[in-house]
Amino acid sequence: VTNGGKTTLAEKLKKMLPNCHTISQDDFFKPESEVETDERGFKLYDVLDALYMEEMVESIHNWMKSPASSGVETEELQNTCDSLKNTEDVYILIVEGFLLYNYEPLNELWNRRYFLTLPYEECKRRRSTRVYQPADTPGYFDGHVWPMYLKYKNELEENASNIVYLDGTKSQEELLSCVYSDIIQEFKKLKE
C-alpha cells in the first residue's frame, strides 16, 4: 500500500542485518513523459507499465550473481542477534515496492514476502502529507491510487501464497521487531 512504511522498514532492517542491500521499486519509475494518462487526465503511476520492471529484475539478478561485490557496506550492526554476528558469508537483499508480487518474473525469487496494509482513511491521510513529483492532482487518490491498490491486492490474494500481512497502523518498532524476528527464523531454517 502507498505510504505504508515499506521504505522505512527496509532501511531499518538494512541497519540490523549483515551484508544487507536494498533495491527500491521506486527507483525504476519511467519518466513522466512515458507514463500513460487516462481520460480524466490522471497519470497512471500505480500500474506495472509505469515501471521499468525488466531493469529491476536484471538488477536483482545481478546482485544475486555477485552479492559480495554489490557495494554493500557493512555498518556497525544495531541489535543484531548472535546467530548473525560475524557471519561474513551471509548476504541479504531486501526488495521493497508496491507491485512486487504482481510481476510474475519476480515471484520465483522471494524467500519471504511481506505485505503492509492500511485502511483507506489512514492511507489517504498519509498520502496527503507527502509531496510527489509530479504532484498528486485533485481526486488522484480516490480516482487512481486507491482503486489500483485494491485491484492489485485482489490479484495478489488470488495468485500468491506465503505472504505475511502486516498491519501498517502498528508502530515502526512493532513492525520492525516482527519482520526482523521472522527473518532470523527464516535464516536459521536456511542454514539447517
Which active-site residues does the annotation give? Answer: 26
| Nearest alpha carbon to residue 172 among 2, 1, 5, 37 | 5
92 close to 21: Cβ distance less than 8 angstroms: yes
C-alpha cell at 29: 519509475
Q: How far apart are CA 34 and CA 114, in angstroms?
A: 30
Q: Which long-range contacts (CB under 8 A, 24 or more apart) does 150-153 make?
A: 152/46, 152/98, 152/99, 152/102, 153/1, 153/115, 153/117
Q: Parallel, antiparallel, or unpaired: how do β-strands 113-117 and 20-24 relate?
A: unpaired
48 close to 103: Cβ distance less than 8 angstroms: yes
Q: Parallel, antiparallel, or unpaired: how do β-strands 92-96 and 113-117 relate?
A: unpaired
81 close to 185: Cβ distance less than 8 angstroms: no
The single-letter DSSP state of residue 28 is G
